Amino acid sequence: MSDDVLVIRGVSKSFGGQKALDDVDLTIGRGEIHALVGQNGSGKSTIIKLLAGFHTPDPGGSVVLDGQPFELGNASAALAGGLRFVHQDLALVPALGAIDNLALGRGYRRGRLGGISWREERQAGERLLRTLGFDFDLSTPVNRLAASQRTGIAIARAIEGLEDSAPKVLVLDEPTASLPVAETERLFEVIRRVNAAGVAIIYVSHRFGEIFQIAERVTVLRNGRAVATRNVREIDSGELTRLTIGRTLDALEAAHSIAHQFTAGIALAVKGISGRALQDLHLTVHSGEILGIAGVTGSGREEVVPLLSGAAPRTGEVEVEGQRIPAEQPPAALAAGMAAVPAERLANAAFPDMSLRENVTIARLTGFFRANGLQKKRERVEADRWLDRLGVVPRSSEARLVTLSGGNQQKVVLARALRLQPRVLLVDEPTQGVDVGAKAEIHGVIEQSARDGAGVVIASTDLEELLALCDRIAVLADGHLVGTYDAAALDLRRLTDLVMDVAPSPDH
């Protein structure tokens, strides 16, 4: 039997005459963990969708799965051949528990009289999740579980039948995009258990540090082509970056100086705000300062931006340059000079089927109307200016947002916020799911906003990102503020200890 479980040769895929994949070769060894990296728009998602049967390839090319010819673009063939997928959105129903989510797709087990056998469903679900190292109440709605537990349910659903040797290859698409450090380590344990059972893993991630932790080999895609496959032990992050973006990051990012030029004024004052998990938070952010918010899922970190921006109910007071902002009134926050970029950009901030022009300008259309209606030409000029400033690709302001890569969608949402020239900029997970090149560009835009005088608040699960961008970092645990720290006095180990609540609190 071949040592390769999946062999792709000369596969291409075009959309409207433009090639998303161009003569790609990819080989996955039997039982290996193989990373797939590349900038947004490099072709990673296209490969996954071809394997899953969502897209059909261009004529030519060939695929062999477990020693047999395999037809791309056929979802039934993918399932029968042993391909399994965990997509970034996990495809779980938030209000349902693990038992129901595990049954999605395959259906429920039935008793002798035809009714659902809940006892058998629970026992089978507990047994399956236990093999992955999980032990929690399967009746708990998944929206109340930790992020790693939710991802675990999606993986469990994908590998059901492993005891019958059905799954051959498990594709994980950005499985840690929204996970804090501790939960990422927890997920790695799950992945290694699945891999130890003989399942090959295709691991897609923008986080290069994870590649070196979990993968044996890595294939790099750039502009629809597979430009290199390397043994992970034989390269470093610098070489991987160069292969991914075609150059070093030197041209994209300057050395970060922790000491931004603060003004005396306070841009944002937070006085005792509380939400569901977050309790009695007090913070101040100066004009020109970048304040980071760190904490594990459930610490209250994920509530900060929605509470401050009025997107979620709160108690307590929020002031922008001394002006009090009513709770649950995003328009009032916007009028006072606050702009927010939420973590779930497609669900909460973007209009996927609308043009880039409309997405950039929709928050403020003043100046585009004349007696005969909306002046689209003036609007287009304004949108193009911001698309150029943020390096959005493609630059066509009439392209639909949904056609862009994740990194470029994030830039468009940022462009909308920055166009408002905010006095306070709130950004939740600014680079979640974006590639290394786009990440550097987004960091540069955020830093420029601070240099222009805005007070910036960044909530992120990426601790390295917070250390690279922020002047101070507020650490939350169990809904409360542990302390606020000068970023210059922290390193990754120290910040990780603080976030995990294993380090002493600060004196200030």
Q: Which two tokens stand for residue 291?
A: 């304040």
Dihedral Cα 328, 332, 337, 338, nearest 10 deg? 10
Q: Give the residue from 303, 313, 267, 314 showing the smallest Cα distance to 286.
A: 267
Kind and range of the H or E element at 406? Answer: helix 406-419
Phi and psi at residue 272, in whole multiples of 5°? 65, 40
Task: Identify which of 349, 327, 358, 343 has the alpha carbon closest to the alpha carbon of residue 461.
Answer: 343
pTM score over 0.75: no
Q: In the chain, how long is the greatest CA-to-CA distance?
A: 74
- What letter does residue 136 receive in the DSSP assignment? S
Mean pLDDT split into 10-residue runs, the chain, 508 residues: 87 84 94 89 87 92 93 90 86 90 84 85 88 86 84 85 70 80 80 90 88 94 92 89 70 44 81 94 95 86 93 95 93 93 78 90 78 76 88 82 80 90 93 75 88 93 88 92 92 81 50
pLDDT of residue 1: 47
Structure token digits, residue 265: 């004024």
Q: For residue 53, what are the CA distances in angstroms to 13, 72, 150, 292?
A: 13, 6, 24, 41
29 with 3: CB under 8 angstroms? yes
- H helix and E strand count, the chain: 17, 22
The rounded distance, in Å, linking the Cα atoms of 403 and 442 is 19
The pLDDT value given to residue 26: 96
SS3 content of the chain, % helix, strand, coil (to 5): 35, 25, 40
Place of tokens 């002046």: 375
Q: 45 vs 133, 204, 212, 224, 459, CA distance in Å?
A: 29, 9, 21, 10, 27
Burial label, 373 (beta-carbon count in 10 A; 0-12, 13-18, 19+):
exposed
How many whole angstroms separate alpha carbon 208 and alpha carbon 190? 19
185 contacts: CB under 8 Å, gap ≥ 6: none
Six-digit token string for 4 = 């390769």
Q: Rounded to an integer, what is the distance from CA 215 to the centroid of its chain?
A: 20
Q: Are strands 455-459 and 290-294 parallel, antiparallel or unpaired?
A: parallel
CB 162 within 8 A of CB 155: no
Cβ atoms 88, 174 nearer than 8 A:
yes
What pLDDT is stored for residue 165 in this prediction? 52
**What pLDDT shows up at residue 371?**
65
Instruction: Cite the DSSP H helix spans in 263-329.
Output: 304-309
Q: Which of 186, 154, 181 is nearest to 170 (CA)?
A: 154
Q: Are 339 and 426 in contact (CB under 8 A)?
A: yes
CA atoms within 13 A on the CB side of 497: 10
What does the block give as tokens for 449? 């906003």
Backbone Cα Rg of the chain: 24
Tokens of 451: 């240099």
pLDDT of residue 202: 96
**What pLDDT, on the 0 to 100 scale, is given for residue 176?**
81
Query: What is the number of residues in the chain?
Result: 508
Question: What pLDDT score was predicted for residue 262?
Answer: 63
Going along the chain from its start, the domains and CATH numbers come out as 4-248 (3.40.50.300), 266-348+422-499 (3.40.50.300)
Contact between 44 and 70 (Cβ < 8 Å): no
